[in-house]
C-alpha cells in the first residue's frame, strides 16, 4: 500500500512563493508517475503538474512557467515549487501516484493513490 504525505502548504501574499513536498512510501517509487492536483472550494479536483519516472514533466496551462515539479528518486519525494502565486491558486493541493510510470498522473481517473492534501491560500 502506497502512502503519500504532503507538506509545505500555507498562507502567502499574491506574488509570493511556496514549495510543496510529498513523501512516498510503501512501493517502488520509480515505478510510479507522480503528480499534483488541486481542488478549490466547491470546484472539481483538477490537474496541476505531473512527472514521469524518467523525469518528463507536463503542466496545466494555468501554472506553466510559474510552477516547477521535480522528483528525487533517491529520497522518494516530489516537490512543487510555486512562484508568482495568485489568489486563483488558492486550493487544497493533493499529491498523486499513478502506476503508469511513463505517462500517468495526468488524469485523476487513473491515479492509484492520493495524499491527504495540503492547503494553499493566496491573499490579494
State the average pLDDT for the chain: 96
In this predicted model, what pLDDT tens digit does every residue of 2-38 receive, in sequence order?
Answer: 999 999 999 999 999 999 999 999 999 999 999 999 9
pLDDT band at residue 82 under the 50/70/90 scheme: very high
pLDDT band at residue 103 under the 50/70/90 scheme: confident
Closest CA to 20 of 41, 49, 52, 54: 49
Amino acid at each position: 500500500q502506497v502512502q503519500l504525505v504532503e507538506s509545505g502548504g500555507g498562507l502567502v501574499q499574491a506574488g509570493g512563493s511556496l514549495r510543496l513536498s510529498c513523501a512516498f512510501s510503501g512501493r517502488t517509487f520509480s515505478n510510479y508517475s507522480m503528480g499534483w492536483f488541486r481542488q478549490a472550494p466547491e470546484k472539481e479536483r483538477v490537474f496541476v503538474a505531473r512527472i514521469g519516472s524518467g523525469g518528463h514533466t507536463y503542466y496545466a496551462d494555468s501554472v506553466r512557467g510559474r510552477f516547477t515539479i521535480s522528483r528525487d528518486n533517491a529520497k522518494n519525494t516530489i516537490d512543487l515549487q510555486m512562484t508568482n502565486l495568485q489568489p486563483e491558486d488558492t486550493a487544497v493541493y493533493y499529491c498523486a501516484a499513478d502506476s503508469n510510470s511513463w505517462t500517468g498522473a495526468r488524469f485523476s481517473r487513473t491515479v492509484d493513490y492520493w495524499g491527504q492534501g495540503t492547503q494553499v491560500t493566496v491573499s490579494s
